[in-house]
Amino acid sequence: MAEVLVLVERSDGVVRKATLELLTLARRLGDPAALVCGPADDAVMKALGEYGAGKVYVVDDPAIHEFLVAPKAEALVDVVRRTSPATVLVTAGREGTEVAARTAVRLDSGIITNAVEVAPGDGGPLVTQSVLSGGWITQSQVVRGTPIVTVLPNAVVPEALPVEPVVEHIEVQISDAARKSRIVQRTPKTGTGRPDLADASVVVSGGRGMGSAEAFGLLEQLADAMGGAVAASRAATDLGWYAHDFQIGQTGKTVAPQLYLASGISGAIQHRAGMQGSRTIVAINKDPKAPIFGITDFGVVGDAHAVLPALIDEVRRRKG
Contact residues for ligand FAD (CB under 6 A)? Answer: 207-209, 233-236, 247-252, 264-266, 268, 270-271, 274, 284-287, 290, 303-305
Q: Which amino acid is at 78?
A: D
What is the distance in angstroms between the CA of the first residue and the CA of the last residue of the chain? 46
Residue 195 CB, nearest distance to ligand FAD (Å)? 20
Report, in Å, the least distance between residue 166 CB and ligand FAD.
44
Nearer Cβ to ligand FAD (223/284):
284
Q: Residue 150 or 276: which CB sits closer to ligand FAD?
A: 276
Q: In what order do the strands lie in the sheet with 202-206?
A: 229-232, 202-206, 259-263, 280-285, 298-301
**By C-beta, is 279 or 305 nearer to ligand FAD?**
305
Q: Tell me which residue of 72, 85, 80, 71 sits closest to 107, measured CA to CA.
A: 80
**DSSP per residue, 135-197:** TEEEEE---SSS-EEEE-TTSS--------PEEEE------GGG-SSB-----PPPP-SSPPT
Cβ closest to ligand FAD, residue 141 vs residue 250: 250
Among residues 140 and 270, whose Cβ is nearest to ligand FAD?
270
Q: How far is the CB of 224 from ligand FAD (least distance, A)?
A: 21
Q: Which helix (H) or strand (E) holds 44?
A: helix 42-50
- For residue 208, the minimal CB distance to ligand FAD (Å) is 3
Residue 30 class from Cβ within 10 Å (0-12 exposed, 13-18 middle, 19+ buried)?
Answer: middle
Element (H, E) at 292: none
Nearer to ligand FAD, 71 or 274 (CB): 274
> Count of CB atoms within 10 A of residue 310's CB?
11
CB of 233 to ligand FAD, least distance (A): 3
Closest alpha carbon to 42 in 196, 164, 188, 199: 164
| Closest C-alpha among 57, 71, 148, 59 to residue 108 | 148
CB of 264 to ligand FAD, least distance (A): 4
Cβ at position 152, least distance to ligand FAD in Å = 16
Three-class SS of residue 92?
Answer: coil
Nearer to ligand FAD, 65 or 305 (CB): 305
Smallest gap from residue 293 Cβ to ligand FAD (A): 9
Whether residue 254 contacts residue 274, with contact meaning beta carbons closer than 8 Å, is answered with yes
Q: Which is nearer to ligand FAD, 179 or 305 (CB)?
A: 305
The two beta strands, 148-151 and 14-15, are unpaired
